[in-house]
Amino acid sequence: MNFGKKLKDIRQSNNLSQEDMGEILFTTQGNISQYETNARKPSIDQIKILVERFNLDANWLLSNNEDQIVNFYDQSTCNIAALKTENYYSISSDKIADIENKLDLIISKL
């Protein structure tokens, strides 16, 4: 997966318009469009903003690798990864719904 596709996926998964992403990266909607089509490359400072703002792995973002590496030094990422893999089927559906709602709330505040 190329950088442009990843950027578009990040933007859409966070319910952001190209204008919104432009504000985050201190650029225009037109530049975001060009980044998403790989017609133009963002600056190093913009890459840094993406990595920090959306808790991304820079190597993943800049590579053609599709799978993002989980940062196990980030406790929140560890907890989410563990929750998704460990004893998933033994958790009640009510508890899963509660956790998903809390995650949505956290993500909406980013």
pLDDT tens digits, 92-102: 777 778 888 88
pLDDT tens for residues 61-109? 888 877 665 555 555 555 555 555 555 556 677 777 888 888 888 888 7
Mean pLDDT of the chain: 82
Is the full-model pTM beyond 0.85? no
Rounded Cα distance between 107 and 99, Å, is: 12
Rounded Cα distance between 10 and 2, Å, is: 12
Angle between helices 3-13 and 29-36 (to 10 degrees): 120
Rounded Cα distance between 24 and 56, Å, is: 15
- Which amino acid makes up residue 57? D
Question: Which has the closest alpha carbon to 16: 58, 45, 42, 53?
Answer: 53
